[in-house]
Amino acid sequence: MQKILFIVNPIAGKKAGKNIHQDIIRYLDTDKFKPHFKYSEYSGHISEIAEHGLKENYRAIIAVGGDGTVNETGRILIHSNIPMGIIPIGSGNGLARHLRVPLSVKGAVRLINKMDILQMDAIRINGMYSFCVAGIGFDAEVSRMFQQMKARGLFSYIIACLRCFNQSKNQNFIVRTKQKEHHLNGFMMCFANANQFGNNAYIAPGANVSDGIIDLVLVKKPYYLQIPLFAFKTFTGTLENHSLYNRINGSEFEITQENDFAHLDGEPTKVGTKFTVAIEEKALPVIC
């Protein structure tokens, strides 16, 4: 019998994670696996539980929550041989959607029963990790606003976007690669491992989590009249040919920005005005 650790974030998204263990037990192949449940109680607790779990010889450790929970778990399991699973109960579920992990508990647990593993890349920024999408400019400002709001969920996220939109301006960025220095002006810059932020908002439609490449995306601020088409293209995965959209692929960038913060998988973090973004290839085993 192999042990599996489920780390549950009881406040992820809108769905209560509190009673989820009953559903997990119902669908888990308990002839093969013995589930252990741990519930996070405070900020940073998920990583502490995962770190403890690393030493306990689990077959897999499962993040039950949103992209924040996935990030806190993944940053501990990176470069280990314990795979991370996802039961997506967050508000956006960007990485789970990219990996086609079912959004139902039943479907996600069935995937865990099969235990197929993909070695996925991670994006490293100043020694911290992003597994889905990181960014600076507008979307980092949104993540800061969203964190300060009491309510979670898609509706609150849209409110945060609208509030930040008026205040945010195009800013100057410098992107250095080994070959070239780009002086760019834009509203936000994203570093995409996965193809979407979550909720099927495809910021980097062609991104692949195991190709060793960061999709660096630069977006210029749209005029109000351009927003509907821009939003339509975001949600249909067709942004690539929009006039406000630019993409540079690479494995390492040195970035200079006017702000001093970023978001990593939706969590706002200080990174300074100058920082390095690098890929770590096939660094995290995930169940998908």
Instruction: Report, in Å, the least distance between residue 167 CB and Mg ion.
Output: 31
Q: How far is the CB of 214 from Mg ion (least distance, A)?
A: 6
Tokens of 109: 């647990």
Residue 112 near residue 60, CB atoms below 8 Å = yes
Distance from C-alpha of 124 to C-alpha of 187, rounded to nearest angstrom: 22
Q: Which stretch binds Mg ion (CB under 5 A): 82-90, 93-101, 132-140, 203-211?
A: 203-211
State which of residues 10, 35, 107, 211 lies at the interface with Mg ion (CB under 5 A). Answer: 211
Query: Least distance to Mg ion from the beta carbon of 207, Å?
Result: 5
Q: Is residue 203 a contact point for Mg ion (CB under 5 A)?
A: no
132 lies in the binding site for Mg ion (CB under 5 A): no
Closer residue to Mg ion (CB): 211 or 280: 211
| Least distance (Å) between residue 83 CB and Mg ion | 19
Residue 41 CB, shortest distance to Mg ion, in Å, is 34
C-alpha 14: how far from chain center = 18
Neighbours of 281 (CB within 10 A): 13
Count interface residues toward Mg ion (CB under 5 A).
Answer: 3
Indicate the residue whose CB is closest to Mg ion.
Answer: 213
- CB 284 within 8 Å of CB 158: no
- Residue 23 binding Mg ion, by CB under 5 A: no
Alpha-carbon gap, residue 103 to 14, rounded angstroms: 13
Q: Write down the least CB distance from residue 190 to Mg ion, Å.
A: 12
Kindly report the number of other CB atoms within 10 A of residue 60's CB atom: 22
**Contact call for residues 266 and 203 (beta carbons, < 8 A):** no
286 contributes a contact to Mg ion by CB under 5 A:
no
Residue 17, C-beta contacts closer than 8 angstroms, at least 6 positions apart:
8, 9, 10, 11, 39, 64, 65, 89
Q: Does 280 bind Mg ion (CB under 5 A)?
A: no
- Which one among 63, 86, 213, 216 touches Mg ion, defined by CB under 5 A? 213
Eight-state DSSP code of residue 141? H
What would the two tokens of residue 263 be?
């978001």
Report the residue number, 156 or 208, with the smaller CB distance to Mg ion. 208
Binding residues vs Mg ion (CB under 5 A): 208, 211, 213
